[in-house]
Each structure stands twice: as C-alpha cells, then as structure tokens.
Structure 1
Amino acid sequence: MENKNTLERLPAYAVFAGVLASAGLPIYIHAPKFFIDEYGVSLTSIAGILFFLRLFDVIQDPALGWLSGALRRQRRIAVAIAASMMVLGMSGLFAVTPLTTPLVWFGIMLALLFSGFSFLTITFYAQGVEKAVRSSQIGHVRLASWRETGALAGICIAAIAPTVFIWISPSPFTVFTGFFVAGVTLAVVMMAPEWSIEKSENPFAFCSILKDPVVRKLLLIAFVNAAPVAVTSTLFLFFVETVLDAPGFEGPLLLLFFVSAAASAPFWANIAKRVSSKKALLMGMSVSVATFAYASLLGAGDVLSFMVVCIASGLGLGADLTLLPAIFADRVAKHSHSASPAFGLWSFVSKLTLAVAAITVLPLLESSGLEPGIPAPVEAVGMLTLLYAVVPCILKLIAIGLLLLTPLSADQCES
C-alpha cells in the first residue's frame, strides 16, 4: 500500500515543480522587460540590479540549504512561509504600482520572490532524493522525469500566459498573478503529505560533500552547462524582436521552445534507461550545440527557421533538466551525503551563471547601441547574434568536455 501511495503522489511533484518553475525562468524573462517598458528603467540599471540580486541569491543558497536541513521537523510550516514570500514578491512585481522608485521596488520584490523560490527549490529537490531512496519502484530518473515534465509545463504556461491574458485584460500580468496565487495554494496542499522525515540530516555537511571529487566535477558541469540557458533566456525577447525582426512572435516562440522541452523529458528518461544517463545527457548536449550553431546563421524574417531552433533547443534543455540533476541526486544518495546542503550547493552554482549573464550581456548590448524604442544598429544585431548563439555554443562544448572527463559508475549512470 505504501508503494502504491508513493506512486500516486508523483503528480504532486509535477504540480509543485510546475508552480516553482513558473516563478523562475519566465519571471527572469518577463520582469526586466516589463519594468523597462512600463517605467523606462535603463538596460544597464536593470542589469546592475539583476547582478546584485543574483549574487545575493547565489550567496544565500548554501545558507538556505543549511536552513532547510535545520528545519526538517518544521518543514510544512517553512514551506508555507516560503510560498507566501513568493506570492508577495510576484504580486509586488506585476500587480502593485511601485511604492518607491521603480528600480528599488524591482529589487525588493525580486529578492523576496527569489528567496522563497530558492528555499522551496532546495527543499523540494532534497525531498526528491529521500523519496527515490525510500521507494524500490521509483528511481532518480523516474522521479526527475515527473518533476521536470511538470516544471517545464509550468514554464510553458508562465511564458505564454501574459501574451494570452492580454486578449482578456488590459493588465495581463495582474491576471497572471492571480493564477499564480491559486497555483501556489494547490501545490502546497498537494505536497503537504510528502514532507516526511525519514532520517536525521547534518545541515553542516558542506565540507564532506565537497570532498567528493565527482560531486565537485558535477557542480562544475552544472555551472558551465547552465550558462547557455542563462544567456539565451536573458536575450530571447531581444533576439526575436531585433535579430529576427519579428515583434509579436515572442510568446508563440517561447511556448514552442518550452513545450518541446516538456515533451522531451519522458523521452530522455527512456533513453537513459537504455544507454545510461551520462550517454543520454551527452546526446542532448550535442543537440544543443548543433542548434546554437544553426541559430548563429539566422537573420531578419527567419521565423520559420527559428521555430526549428526552438524545437531543437527545447529538446536539448529537456535532457539537461531531467538527467543532470538525476545524476547528481543519485551520487548524493549513494554516498550518503546530506541532501539539503547538497542541493543548496547545486542551486548556488546553477544561479551563479544567471548573475554573470545579467552583469555582462545587457551592458554589452547597450554599449553596442541597442536602445528600447529606436531601430537597432548593425553592431547591436551582430552583438545579439554573437551572445545569443555563438557564446552558448562554445560554453556547451566546454560542458560536454567536462562531462566526458567525469567518471561515473555504471550503476549511477543507469539510475
């Protein structure tokens, strides 16, 4: 009966992951452009705020990993508080007129949103490790497939929702906020039975975790491999509008990208069962390299070709999000590392790339002559293509090399 209940609760992981994901990457895509368009905030100012926010987010993640481990016996309460922080942050960003200068308000609300998001993400992934270990019917890849499919579905909905809601309301982001609040409530209720305590956990386990050479290599891979997503997510809207000269297509193209990623997650899980997680991940990363190379050749009017890019890059993202965290979780479980601090470190290195992307790519765009509301010069179009396609291609190749050099045992690869 316990195993049956375990299997029946997998949808709760998908829903919770979906809500979390809707507060992550889509907000990173929408919020900067929303404040630039609505309040006239400059690209460089937004870049500076994003950098310091991400730097703060990066620094706090190990501390949140410690806090998650320390609050194991109060986890349901802690989850409810963190979820409330996300709701307040989202409402402040999109449904409330800034109560101070827009730039300061932007920083405060994003800090609130991302702090709640980070704590919930670390706690959620740590719980996933415990669930996979407890159940003989659920491995790390199977759980990751449910979780990442839900996450990518949440990204799809959040990415396209403002574009859809504009047809029913003059304030689409306010409507989006209302749906987000309802989604958070549902997710918290569905996951409530899952926050069980199976064993004690050392919240001060960072040193022992980092002594594991494979863990260190996997963290480095996570850092490098997340960089292309950080760069392209920051630049996606600008690339479509400026390089492709296709304003108005941003929403459908984003949806196509994320739907492709969501649909591919079960596919990559099945491939991993047949050829190992490592080999399947290398296949997915290779798809991304080819896709970025092709994207570098596109220009004005190439919307149909970019649809192919969205599908293929979504396929590659599905492999990244499904398999790499599963490989890391498997290593953590098999070597008895504390899950909460481990995923605090995982979140730390993953988000560090977002901080670097924020402080580099937007100022480079502005220095090349890109300004909202005026035609982009040739230099800005060239810079966008370089940053959106060429740089991610190079970074992905480096990540592939690092993964090839990382020894993984056969049983770990096949989990």
Structure 2
Amino acid sequence: MSGSHIVPLSMKNLAAYGLMGFPLAFAGLPVYLHAPDFYATVLGQSLTSLGLVLLALRIIDAVQDPLIGSLSDRFHGQRSIILVLGVIMLGAGFWMIFHPLESNPLTWFASAVFICTTGFSIVSINLQTLGGIWRASQNDRTKITSWREAFGLFGLLVAAISPTLLGSTINPAEGFHRLTLLYLPVLCLAAWLLLRWMTRADLQQSALSADGHTGWCQLLKSPWRRTFFGIITLNTFASAIPAVLVLFFIRDRLGAPEQSGLFLLVYFSAGILAMPIWLQLSKRFGKMRSWALSIALAIATFFWAAFLQTGQVEAYAIICALSGLALGADLALPPSILADHIAADKRQAEAGRLFACMTLLSKGALALATGLALPVLGIAGYQPGILMTADMDMTLSLAYAASPCILKILTLIWLLRQNQF
C-alpha cells in the first residue's frame, strides 16, 4: 500500500483521493431526508415508527465509530479490503432503501439504513485516515482536506436537486430507482480511483505502538487532544442548531419556504468557493488563526439573522453566502490540524481511532442539537406551521441565530486561549 516516494499533490492525485467525498456526502440527504418521506407517503409507514428507527440507528451509528476506527488501525495492512467492504455495504444499503420489501417495509428500512450507514462510516473514517497519513507538508494537508470536503459539498448540492429532477414527471418509486442508478456508478468510480491511488501513495503507517491496545483513555490522555476534541464538539454543536432549525426559520420566520433550496444552494456553493481562500490564509497566518478567523466571520455575519423580518429574503441570502464562506474553513481546517498532530506526535498507528473520535463527537453534537432544539422551542410555545406571534418570532430567531452565535463566541474564546495551538 505504501510507495517508496512521495506522491506529488497534483490535481490528478488530489481528485483520485478526494472524489470519494462526493458519493459519501451524496448519500446523506436521500437516506435521512427523502427516505423517511418516501416510506411514509408511498408505503404508508408511521412517521413515529420511522423516527424511532432513525433515532436508534443514529445512536448505533455513532457508537460503532470507535470500533470501526480501532479495527481499521489494527488491520491497517488490509485497509484496501476494509474500504471495499465499506463501499459494498454503502452501495447495497443505498439500493435496498429505495427498493423496499413491501410485505415488511419497516424492518427492511431499518436493515437497509443500518447496512448503508455502517458502510458509510467505514469508508468515511478510512478516507479521513488516509488523508491524515498521506505524507505531505502542513500546507499540503489543508489542500488534501479542502479537495475532499469540496467534493463533499458538491455531492450535497447534487443530492439536494437530484430527486426533484429525476422524479419531476414520474412517480417517486421510479424517481428513486433512477437515483440509485445514478449513484452506484459514481460510487464504484470513486472507489476504483481511490484504490488505484492507494497503490502508489506514500502513506505513513506503522504497527500499533505499545499503548495501541490500552484503550481510548490512554489515547486521550494528551491535553492537546482533549482540548482539540472539546473545541470540535462545542463548535459542531453550535453549527448543528441552525442546521436543525433552518427549514422552520425559512418557512415560519421569513415566510419563504419556496426559496429554501436556493438558500441552501448559496450556502454550500459559498463553502466550495471559499476552500482556496482558506488554504491561502492558512499558509499565511497558520491553521489555528485561520480557523479562529472563520469562526469570527460566522459570528459577525450570522448574528444578523436574528434581526431579520418576514420577507427579507435578499438579506438572508447574503447572510447565507457570508456564513457559507466560514463553512469552508470549518470543514477543511480541523481535519488538517489533526493530521498535523498525528504526524508531529507520530501517531499514524492510531490515526483511524483519532479520526473516528472526531467523527463520534461531531455526530454526538448533532444528535444533541437535534434532541434539544425542537423540544426547547416547543416548551417556549413554538409549533411548526402555525400562525406566528411576535413572541414566537423572537423565540425562533433567538434559537436559530442568537444561541449558535453565543456558543461560537465561547468556542472562539476557548480556541484563542490555547497557547499550545
């Protein structure tokens, strides 16, 4: 798997590695957004049952990440085989989700989503690990993560519009059948390019060190890692709150539900376009300072969303664009910073577990935001879709925009106070 020379960071090599980010990101929206609606409307399944199944599977998905990371590190010599297994599970599960067994759709749905999300986690964790142990300079590591995350954002954009385009004149079942026919060749192409890249890439891998078998407590004894993962968790939690509430805010506060797709397009497109900018800023000012700058930008721009009134769609589009610029740094810089630490501390043998830990904490923060945001709003009197009062307008605005900014301010203070960064 390791070559005898350093692979230049050409566009060809970066694309061969990063393209897998496209099908990984593409899978998320259909599985968690479109599939429940499909099973509820077409197959008549209870939304409550579907929600409980997804909640249980999200918990399992997060908890199994450390195990996947540990096994991937332990069998690092067979990482290509592990990736092939993950790709097969991801593709098979995705196909199963949109080709249901009509005699028992709920059980089929649970099994298919479990297979799909497990495959997703296997591929995602190992893809991040490969980027983290690819022998490269500190600046080039940001380029590696930027390419991967830019492909991921592009995958999100395509996934957002594909079901509508494919199913505009046909029934949903046929539309999602065509979606899988589009998805599987792209997944296979990305896997083929990644496996070819692995045969020539110089990957800094070594056997497990003495503490590689001692568990997660030993691995997280480092103050740097505890601080870094703590900042990641708080920052992700802050970002997850508006992600959970965005459609409610657009519909019930702005009164522009028909524009929601356009707002998301602006946001994610800005994130893609910002990747080269953050790469240059990180070269000039360092990754931690650039990350802090992006958080400050997110606070300064997104704070104004709390003051928007009904119908101010142009102002909100500008906020989406500017906060989308900050998204590019949030996606590209933290994995690059962790890769720098792995190289400096010679932790390549635990790279899979460290990236799995970052994934676990990010998923946990998203689950926490999902579990808190809507119940808290419900207690405060907000109910989606009903006629809004002035008090409910303020409550939704504060929850959607003000509370994430407060959390981002705390994240920024914590980040700036860490002298070791």
What's the TM-score bracket when you normalise by the shorter of the two chains? Answer: 0.7 to 0.9
Distance in 2 of aligned mates of 1:145 and 1:333: 18
CA separation of 1:390 and 1:28: change in aligned 2, threshold 3 A: farther
Name which of 273, 284, 294 aligns with 1:284: 294
Distance in 1 of aligned mates of 2:238 and 2:180: 28
Alignment of 1:105-254 (within 5 A): 106-131=109-134, 134-135=135-136, 139-167=140-168, 169-171=170-172, 172-195=175-198, 198-202=204-208, 204=213, 206-254=216-264
- Offset from partner CA, 1:223-268 (integer Å, 9 cap, x none): 1111133222222223222222222222222111111111111110
Deviates more, 1:261-270 or 1:187-196: 187-196
- 2:100–2:109: 8 Å Cα contact kept in structure 1? no
Deviates more, 1:170-179 or 1:109-118: 170-179
Question: Does residue 375 of structure 1 match 2:381?
Answer: no
- 2:139–2:282: 8 Å Cα contact kept in structure 1? no
CA separation of 1:248 and 1:182: change in aligned 2, threshold 3 A: farther
CA separation of 1:4 and 1:125: change in aligned 2, threshold 3 A: closer
Gaps (5+ residues) in structure 1?
410-415
Deviates more, 1:136-145 or 1:268-277: 136-145
- Offset from partner CA, 1:190-244 (integer Å, 9 cap, x none): 1012345653342536344312111111101111111133222222223222222
Distance in 1 of aligned mates of 2:287 and 2:121: 26
Gaps (5+ residues) in structure 2?
none
Max Rg structure? 2
Question: Does residue 293 of structure 1 match 2:303?
Answer: yes
TM-score (norm 2): 0.86
- Offset from partner CA, 1:43-91 (integer Å, 9 cap, x none): x666554443332222111111011112322222221221122223323
Deviates more, 1:77-86 or 1:354-363: 354-363
Question: Does residue 355 of structure 1 match 2:367?
Answer: yes
Letter in 2 for 1:398: L
CA separation of 1:105 and 1:332: change in aligned 2, threshold 3 A: same
Deviates more, 1:168-177 or 1:65-74: 168-177
CA separation of 1:311 and 1:398: change in aligned 2, threshold 3 A: same
Question: Does residue 54 of structure 1 match 2:58?
Answer: yes
Q: How many residues align?
A: 403
- 2:252–2:388: 8 Å Cα contact kept in structure 1? no
Letter in 1 for 2:119: G
Q: Secondary structure at the match of 1:96?
A: coil
Deviates more, 1:172-181 or 1:81-90: 172-181
CA separation of 1:273 and 1:330: change in aligned 2, threshold 3 A: same
Shift in Å at residue 288 of structure 1?
A: 1.1
- Offset from partner CA, 1:105-150 (integer Å, 9 cap, x none): 554433322221111111111111221xx24697311212222222
CA separation of 1:150 and 1:124: change in aligned 2, threshold 3 A: same
